[in-house]
Structure 1
Amino acid sequence: MKFLDYSLMNKIKNKLVPELRFPAFEDDGEWDYFYGNKLFKTVSNKNHNSELPILAITQDQGAIPREEINYHVSVSKKSVEGYKVVEVGDFIISLRSFQGGIEYSNHLGICSPAYIILRRKKKNLLNLFYKQYFKTDVFISHLNKNLEGIRDGKMVSYKQFSEIKIPQPQTQEQQKIADCIASLDELILGFIEKLEALKRHKRGLMQNLFPQDGLNVPNYRFAEFKNDKEWEKTTLGKITNVISNKNKDNKNLPVYSINNKDGFLPQSEQFDDMNSKRRGYDISLYKIIEKNTFAYNPARINVGSIGYSGNLNNILISSLYVCFKTENIVDDKFLNQYLETPYFLKLVNRNTEGGIRSYLFYKNFSKITISLPSMQEQQKIATCLTSMDDLISAQQNKIAQIEQHKKGLLQGLFPKVN
């Protein structure tokens, strides 16, 4: 795929042409720009029989039927009567458009009257071109220019959208750009489907490599262990030791958090470049974490907020976390995989305590039962599942690389308008 690089010409002449342009359009000159209300109108059609699917407006999937993403919110029949019809090709301004742009609908359905629905005024405006443009950093930055007093629950209005200049290149160039980005979207979708298949395969392995409720042997066993004895039941309290090494000397160590996706994560990545030290918190109360330490959030372990430090050493985490190390009879990587199983999460929910928010402190954590095979079988299971983790991580990295490439293309294929 060939492009002409106009970046130097843009800097010299400040012309409204993209930095990257397909050769077929090099002589087409500058793009036309119009205010939003000249290209798109707002529509509010409530003439429907309420049998159309209710659409959820999402930042990652656009407008999509709620049942496709397991989004269930009870809505009265009377309320649904006031919902707006969304047609295929419509755009929707949502409460979070100042963060993620304007959403596109591939579906005929209805949505809450709180949303603003946009529809093109001219046939020479290609919806798939604007589907891409409305998600660019350039456009989102324009949405944010007049946002004072709009955040925290208030939406971008049609009036504000109307004050934004929007590009309109020739139809053929719109089509070429839309096709280019759509091909990348298809590639990303294919990689995501493979990622989900890998995750499903791992979930199936975990379900069969660990004994289920009430059993002492798993459904699947590696050949060399088929004649071994049953797994031995014990409790987490007998194979772990709680630790609490406070940062009494107020050492300036890296501060980490734990989430249910990444486990241990630098706090600055978890909270948008802010951490406890920048917030002025007393880090002398924090806990020092060494290598091969487990830690979990007692208020969020029920959603998988637990991590294993592995080779991370001399880092800090909040004093709210429960931290522990293991005895020699258990392989850390085996236990780390077990703590991800749905069966363990079921046991967590049985042992939490509290009112509005449930907690699992070490006292109850230590009572949870676990079955252990020999160290050799533990290591075999851990190796199998961590190899799946490696495949999943590699696939996630591929997706991230393609998405980064797409982001670069979007920046180059659309001019920056002051």
Structure 2
Amino acid sequence: MSSKIKTNSTIENSKPALVPKLRFPEFREAAGWRYIPLNHLALRAKQKNRDKKIDRVLTNSAEFGVVDQRDFFDKDIATQGKLEGYFVVELGSYVYNPRISSTAPVGPISKNKIGTGVMSPLYTVFKFKDERNDFYEYFFKTTGWHTYMRHASSTGARHDRMAISSDDFLAMPLPASSSDEQQKIADCLNSLDELIATQCRKVNTLKSHKKGLMHQLFPREGEIQSSLRFPDFRESWVEIKLDSLSISISSGRDKLDPEGDIDLYGSTSVIGKTRTPSFSGERILIARVGANAGLLTKAKGTFGVTDNTIVVSLKPSINIDFVFYYLESTNINRLIFGSGQPLITGSILKNLPIMVPSDLEQRKISACLSSLDDLIANQSLKLEAMKAHKLGLMQQLFPLLAEIDA
């Protein structure tokens, strides 16, 4: 074991019993929690796919957990003829991926909940002896084990991977209480996950509804009016170029300035501050280059814009909300060119045809979609609040592992 960390027996003997900040009433008088090494609670899975009977390759994503590689990457990354050296990962097993990222600074540990498959030998696979182990699935979503990993790693993070031996990894101290208390915590968090999933579906349903509504409220390509109109509006729509509605369509030119106090927009959102903003009022912003090319943002007030973004400045008489929703509904991606570095230009946007109804109908359409946007925003805030509540609850339900001396 690495000399940089104490043995688990030393940790258990030298630290007082753990007590989480928040405990269910029936366990408040129970004994304190304790540390138990992972290798006392689980067995490492080392079975190789020698007979090559399993061809389902799994991967452990920091964001999505254990997923089918083909679904995650939209193609097979592993060479099918070389799977005999891969580990068999049974349903219910846990997988540690040493690859680090901003969302998994010491690599993610995830539970396989999708079925038996195989994984690269770069991963560490283990299975708890007790089938009631959902508690540890949630614990590994906290940062309570990160300090140990950083100390146990022989060289910290080697480029994009943690350098930690299997023995040191399996010696990781885990908090343990009675099986009933651990299951109570898991059940509580699982119930909260179900509420979050329901709220997420609600938000996604609203977004899908908006998308479908826009397809009906705006004419399809090649058509002269929409398929769904409000009562009393029967006049034909008129085709007009975006350039004729605009004062200018050009790239931004502002720069980041740490000492600035004005918002600076990049391709999709505010990325920092600037001291010399070029714009005031309301503008439509369109990502100009890269993977985000074609994405829309609306900026208001006084602000700056980087050169990765096209700024559409409309004439004062033009309904900016209508134009924004129209652009959102149309397939701007067809205007993007280049595969290595996708690009959309102001000169191309200037010639984009837009079908325009009367001013009153424009306002009616904008008000309808704006109300739907407000509803989506409110429900999205509720979703984020639920996620924040879960995070705060987890920080209180799990005892904090004491710092491990170097």
Tell me the TM-score normalised to structure 2 length: 0.83
Shift of 1:304: 4.1
Shift of 1:381: 1.3
In the alignment, the residues of structure 2 paired with residue 306 and residue 297 of structure 1 have an alpha-carbon distance, to the nearest angstrom, of 7
2:269 match:
264
Contact 2:284/2:312 (8 A) holds in 1: yes
Q: Please, which runs of 5 or more residues in structure 2 have no aligned partner?
A: 1-14
Contact 1:91/1:118 (8 A) holds in 2: yes
2:113 match:
106
The structure-2 alpha-carbon separation of the partners of 1:410 and 1:330, relative to structure 1 and needing over 3 Å to count, comes to same
Percent identity between matched residues is 27
Aligned pair 1:58/2:73, yes or no?
no
Aligned pair 1:46/2:48, yes or no?
yes
1:389 match:
373
The structure-2 alpha-carbon separation of the partners of 1:347 and 1:329, relative to structure 1 and needing over 3 Å to count, comes to farther
1:375 match:
359
SS at match of 2:194: helix
Shift of 1:246: 6.2
Contact 1:302/1:345 (8 A) holds in 2: no
Contact 1:33/1:167 (8 A) holds in 2: yes
Q: Please, which runs of 5 or more residues in structure 1 have no aligned partner?
A: 1-12, 269-274, 278-282
Shift of 1:156: 5.5
2:93 match:
90
Shift of 1:193: 1.1
Aligned pair 1:199/2:207, yes or no?
yes
Contact 2:107/2:161 (8 A) holds in 1: no
2:3 match:
none
Q: 2:161 aligns with which of 154, 159, 162?
A: 154
Q: Which residue identity is paired with 2:321?
A: K
Which is helix-richer, 1 or 2?
A: 1
SS at match of 1:398: helix
Q: Deviations over 1:343-371 (max 9, x none)?
A: 3324323xx3x462121121112122221
Q: Which residue identity is paired with 2:111?
A: Y
Contact 2:254/2:305 (8 A) holds in 1: no
In the alignment, the residues of structure 2 paired with residue 396 and residue 91 of structure 1 have an alpha-carbon distance, to the nearest angstrom, of 31
Q: 1:134 aligns with which of 131, 140, 151?
A: 140
Shift of 1:137: 2.5
Shift of 1:228: 1.3
1:164 match:
172
1:20 match:
22
1:214 match:
222
Q: Which runs of 4+ in 1 moved over 6 A?
A: 244-248
Q: 2:332 aligns with which of 345, 367, 374?
A: 345
Shift of 1:33: 0.7
Q: Deviations over 1:213-234 (max 9, x none)?
A: 2111112111221x212x2112
Contact 2:38/2:170 (8 A) holds in 1: yes
Shift of 1:297: 2.7
Q: 1:29 aligns with which of 18, 28, 31?
A: 31
Shift of 1:178: 0.6
Q: Which residue identity is paired with 2:184?
A: K
In the alignment, the residues of structure 2 paired with residue 155 and residue 111 of structure 1 have an alpha-carbon distance, to the nearest angstrom, of 21
SS at match of 1:412: helix
Q: 2:304 aligns with which of 307, 316, 324?
A: 316
2:398 match:
414
Tell me the TM-score normalised to structure 1 length: 0.81
SS at match of 1:290: strand
The structure-2 alpha-carbon separation of the partners of 1:301 and 1:119, relative to structure 1 and needing over 3 Å to count, comes to closer
In the alignment, the residues of structure 1 paired with residue 292 and residue 260 of structure 2 have an alpha-carbon distance, to the nearest angstrom, of 31
